[in-house]
Structure 1
Amino acid sequence: MTATFYTIIALVAFATNSLLCRMALMEGAIDPWNFTILRFLSGAICLGIIITLHTHRLKHQTQTVTSFNSDSNTDHNNAAVSAILADKGSWLSSVSLVVYALCFSLAYVDLDAGTGALILSAAVQLTMIGWSIYQKEQLTVLQWLALACALIGFVYLMLPSAAIPSFTGALTMALSGIAWGIYSIRGKSCVSPLRATGFNFIRSLVAIPFLLIVAISHWVGISMQGVVLAVISGAITSGLGYCMWYVAMPLLKSTQAAVVQLCVPIIAALGGVLFLSETLSLRFIIASIVILGAVLVFILNKKTV
């Protein structure tokens, strides 16, 4: 139940993030460079505040428990807290985060929503499943069939809306997907999802001076709507959403995490219907049943692996 809860929250955050980015960039409210900068700044500030409060609470609890107890359980708890406080993410994860976010925004300038989502998801799946196979994770026949059905349903949903992409846009989105796959895989080894995500965002601020070199020429075209969408994307759907995903990742196998993420385009499409007045087609309904049904079969088959 815990894995399911955190996974659902993370997937909704991802889908919402896609909608926010689509609204901001497609309508020209902001350029991808400044969108990425504001996304990282707001995410780092939000998570920095939360980490500070969380650290203070952990230290206070440790001092309180130690002052009243001195048994082996107390030592074990103190060691666990020390491990949490020592988790500060990594530079590789931060680089993956920067590459993912920037390429994601840049690609949507040249690609339509269907093409971008198809390339991004395909790159993520190939990266994560490829890693799991490299790690010798075994799949049952039923899991292979479920994976195939989910991919078929996804292609069935997305291909009709996919225009021929530009080579640059397609390559950029593929790089974004590979980076996000790496970021997700590395989430399995973190001790504290909150601290790892927060420090990864804070490290990402090192890239801002380089992004500003290009972004400064686009300042005139930024609207308040673009700023608000970028801040929400950074502080809530990116920062907090990635924390939820880092919590879920250790509870899922790499292949399960890969297949579950196929739900994101479905959730995003539903959000488009509810908030952007997009049309809910029969093709979407059929694809949703195929994809979500296949994902459910794949996850329920986990116990037989």
Structure 2
Amino acid sequence: MRVFLLTALTMIAFAANSVLNRMALAGGGIDAASFGSIRLIAGAVMLGVLCALLRGGLTLGGRGRVAGVLALLVYIYGFSAAYTVLDAGLGALILFGVVQITMFAGSLVAREAVPPRRWIGAALAFAGLVWLLWPGAGPRISVVHGLLMAAAGVGWGVYSLAGRRSTDALRGTAANFILAAPLGVLIGLALPTGAAGTVIGAQGVALAILSGAVTSGLGYALWYNVLPRLASSVAAVAQLTVPVIAMAGGMIFLGESLSLQFVAASVLVLGGVAISVLPLQGLISRSSGS
């Protein structure tokens, strides 16, 4: 029961990143670049403190560090820029689907054995994302901001692939955030801020700190603590709930609507991911033997 509750709390934290980001930007209390920079800094501080308390320090070097830092920056700023327009649930769905497809592509590049079900699942998820982003075909969304979230998904997928080389996930994540933070500030200053210019209000800053320190920093630390106690299939199913929780949060806290087309596209994306990551052959053999 304790592992279940911790897993549920972690998934809520991940979904809350979408809701908090959208809430801050939709309210006009902060611009996207500033939100991303503050989120990075808050996450770096929290993860650094956790490493000091739980690991006795941290190491900034390591294999895959450059790739991890660059991918993290793409994720953070693509994520924030996309949520200037996208609803929380829609953004989470695009992000999650693209992350899985990116990791599937990484398997192909690494010449890993890819079973047929992963091909089928990736094709279904990709079809759902194309439907979402194709002009006039699926729900009405901004293609530009959809592509920005897709870029964030590629960034997080690459980040996850690079993280496989880490022997200590918490230290590796802390090092990536700490190294990315100063670069992120420079990127944030260089990015266009839109017609309103740079906006840094108290509510926007508070939401960015909450997203960086709590739902990102503590959320990632909690996930890495729970992950070794979960079967890979259970961990995969748990992550399928993130877009659904984000959709619910968007409707409750932001008054976002849910269309039938969006539900259908969500079924395609999440169904494709489920087929790709779940050990269906094992499930079938167990059910047939019972």
**The two structures share one fold, judged by TM-score above 0.5:** yes
Q: Show the counterpart of 2:248.
A: 270
Following TM superposition, by how much is the alpha carbon of 1:147 offset from its aligned partner in structure 2, in angstroms?
A: 5.0
Q: 2:82 matched to 1:107?
A: yes
Give distance in 2, aligned partners of 1:110 and 1:187: 30
**Deviation by residue 1:180-208 (Cα, 9 ceiling, x = unmatched):** 11001122222222111111111112214
**Deviation by residue 1:101-147 (Cα, 9 ceiling, x = unmatched):** 01211233355557645553443233110111233443444555555
**Structure with bigger gyration radius:** 1
Segments of 5+ residues of structure 2 without an aligned counterpart are 284-290
Maintained 8 Å contact 2:101/2:126: no
Q: Show the counterpart of 1:129.
A: 104
Match for residue 200 of structure 1 among 150, 153, 176? 176
Matched residue of 1:189: which SS? coil
Give distance in 1, aligned partners of 2:72 and 2:51: 19
Match for residue 182 of structure 1 among 141, 158, 178? 158
Q: 2:14 matched to 1:39?
A: no
Closer, same or farther: CA 95–301 of 1 in aligned 2, 3 Å: same
Greater helix fraction, Structure 1 or Structure 2: 1
Q: 2:95 matched to 1:120?
A: yes
Give distance in 2, aligned partners of 1:216 and 1:154: 27
Segments of 5+ residues of structure 1 without an aligned counterpart are 59-84
Q: Show the counterpart of 1:71.
A: none
Range that drifts further, 133-142 or 198-207: 133-142
Match for residue 225 of structure 1 among 165, 184, 203? 203
Maintained 8 Å contact 2:43/2:217: yes
Give distance in 1, aligned partners of 2:198 and 2:268: 45
Closer, same or farther: CA 112–219 of 1 in aligned 2, 3 Å: same
Q: What amino acid sits opposite 2:79 in the alignment?
A: F
User: 1:33-182 maps to which residues of 2 (within 5 A)?
Assistant: 33-56=33-56, 90-109=65-84, 111=86, 116-117=91-92, 119-146=94-121, 160-166=138-144, 169-182=145-158
Q: Show the counterpart of 1:12.
A: 12
**Deviation by residue 1:196-241 (Cα, 9 ceiling, x = unmatched):** 1111111112214414534898787322211111001100111222
Give distance in 2, aligned partners of 1:101 and 1:191: 24
Following TM superposition, by how much is the alpha carbon of 1:40 offset from its aligned partner in structure 2, in angstroms?
A: 1.2
Matched residue of 2:113: which SS? coil
Closer, same or farther: CA 99–283 of 1 in aligned 2, 3 Å: closer
Give distance in 2, aligned partners of 1:12 and 1:114: 13
Q: What amino acid sits opposite 1:221 in the alignment?
A: V
Closer, same or farther: CA 144–299 of 1 in aligned 2, 3 Å: same
Closer, same or farther: CA 206–256 of 1 in aligned 2, 3 Å: farther
Following TM superposition, by how much is the alpha carbon of 1:288 offset from its aligned partner in structure 2, in angstroms?
A: 6.8
Identical columns (%): 39
Maintained 8 Å contact 2:31/2:198: no
Range that drifts further, 25-34 or 126-135: 126-135
Closer, same or farther: CA 291–45 of 1 in aligned 2, 3 Å: same
Closer, same or farther: CA 206–222 of 1 in aligned 2, 3 Å: closer
User: 1:215-254 maps to which residues of 2 (within 5 A)?
Assistant: 221-245=199-223, 248=227
Q: What amino acid sits opposite 2:182 in the alignment?
A: V
**Deviation by residue 1:60-80 (Cα, 9 ceiling, x = unmatched):** xxxxxxxxxxxxxxxxxxxxx
Q: What amino acid sits opposite 2:163 in the alignment?
A: G
Maintained 8 Å contact 2:97/2:129: no
Maintained 8 Å contact 2:43/2:213: yes
Closer, same or farther: CA 256–228 of 1 in aligned 2, 3 Å: same
Matched residue of 2:278: which SS? helix
Give distance in 1, aligned partners of 2:86 and 2:279: 35
Aligned residue pairs total: 274
**Deviation by residue 1:18-42 (Cα, 9 ceiling, x = unmatched):** 1111111122110011101110111
Range that drifts further, 290-299 or 95-104: 290-299
Q: CA RMSD in A?
A: 4.2
> TM-score w.r.t. structure 1 length?
0.69
Q: Show the counterpart of 1:68.
A: none
